[in-house]
Amino acid sequence: MTFRQMILLYLITLVVFFVIDMIWLGVVAKGFYRRHLGSFMSPKVNWISAMLFYLLFIVGLLVFVIRPALAAGVPLNALFYGALLGLISYATYDLTNLATLKDWPLIVTVVDLIWGTVLGGVVSYVSALIGRALLKL
């Protein structure tokens, strides 16, 4: 895979991730987080922190999941390994919060672990399929 292809695959994955996660955060789970994390939530999103997470998480998906799946010629591997990386990443945040923050809701941890798993798997698989088709990988 050339450097140019890696950059394009990164951008594809970033767009796929952003679209799916914004639907989740802005529409599907918006009320859920307000209801369960109201006292923890800031009135304004810290977009710099959010974008840093997106940028780093996409690097992880690309390096550890999508690129190896495409190199092996098995895009379906991206679904499984992306789900695993999503679970591990979201578990790092949520289980740490559950362990260290007073009154952190267990339901938020459970929902986030499921969401991180689904998000990592779907984003990786869709990005691998789009990347394979567009970049002729």
Average pLDDT over residues 35-41: 89
* Alpha-carbon gap, residue 65 to 58, rounded angstroms: 10
Q: Is the pLDDT of residue 1 over 90?
A: no
Q: What is the pLDDT of residue 102?
A: 92
CA angle 36, 41, 44 (to 5 degrees): 140
- At 30 the pLDDT is 80
**pLDDT tens-digit profile of 46-66?**
999 999 999 999 999 999 999
Q: Look up residue 132 and give its two tokens.
A: 């394979």
HSE-up (13 A, CA, CB side) for residue 32: 15
Confidence of residue 26 (pLDDT cuts 50, 70, 90): confident
